[in-house]
Amino acid sequence: MFRIECNSIIGLTLVALLMTKTAFAESDNSTSFMSIAGGRISAEVNKEREEVIKQRNNVSNPVVGKEKSQLCQGCHGEFGISANTQIPKLAGQFSNYISKQVRNYQSGKRTHQIMSAMAATINDDDLADVADYFASQDKMKGSGSADNLIGKKLFSNSNVSNLGLACINCHGEKGLGLKPQISVFPVIGGQHKDYIRRQLVNFREGNRTNSPNGMMNKMAGSLTDAEIESLAEYVSQQRESSGEPTQPAVVSQQVARKSRSK
């Protein structure tokens, strides 16, 4: 397990929080996450080539990261596939993106009753190992069921916001991510529908504000509840059909460069 750098009070506080019904309420001011289902989760992942998986990692140690991530696994699953659909899958997520989110919890830029407390207990070296462990897992995947046509149009259509960009430009074909060098934009294809829906609402309402240059607040700002529902359903269904995601024709490289350090 990773080294605890706070006193035992934090550990006791975490236990108390985990016992409460509101333990997973996003102070991205969302509704409660409800209880965590027990047992091992079936592998909702895409089998990938080893060289593709390595591209998502830094130079840390994912083997050591598995041991250090024991507390994380309690909610996010042993292999990064969470049982609770309000808790994000981490399997195959970019290592740098995972690290950024934890640092945002540490700084208070993003808040969550459990995650803010958990983030306070981990140092940079351990975080790098933990992030690499989850990034080294086969990528999350959706059901692959028939496309939600409305959601697909919203995902691919640059008219969804006044930015002249579509979801696909930053999150890649099917939401499966761009190159790891542009890891400020996360893998979302195959993520839980409930989690995607909640985060889109949080961005729309301004309860979450840690996206690059506030981009997600602008993108989600004009979406209706029905559009968010369709978009979340479409994204959650996606899965890779081959070993590596296809890159969209247009990518906001300028935004990526400006945002990489944020």
Decide: 173 and 240 in contact? Cβ < 8 Å.
no
Same CATH topology for 8-135 and 149-259: the answer is: yes
Lookup result for tokens 């991205």: 28
Topology of the domain comprising 149-259: Cytochrome Bc1 Complex; Chain D, domain 2 (1.10.760)
User: Looking at residue 245, what is its pLDDT?
Assistant: 43
Q: Which residue has the higher pLDDT, 156 or 5?
A: 156
Number of H helices, E strands in the chain: 13, 0
pTM to 2 decimal places: 0.77
Mean pLDDT throughout 72-78? 97
3-state secondary structure of 23: coil
What is the CATH code for 8-135? 1.10.760.10
138 pLDDT exceeds 90? yes
β-bridge partners, 45: 140
N- to C-terminal Cα separation, the chain: 28
Q: Which residues does 50 contact at the CB level (< 8 Å), separation at least 6?
A: none
6 pLDDT exceeds 50? no
Query: pLDDT digit string (tens) for 221-244?
Result: 989 999 999 999 999 999 987 544
Domain ranges of the chain: 8-135, 149-259
Query: pLDDT digit string (tens) for 83-135?
Result: 999 999 999 999 999 999 999 999 999 999 999 999 999 999 999 999 999 99
How many Å apart are CA 117 and CA 99, to the nearest integer?
15
DSSP 8-state symbol, 252: -
User: Looking at residue 146, what is its pLDDT?
Assistant: 72
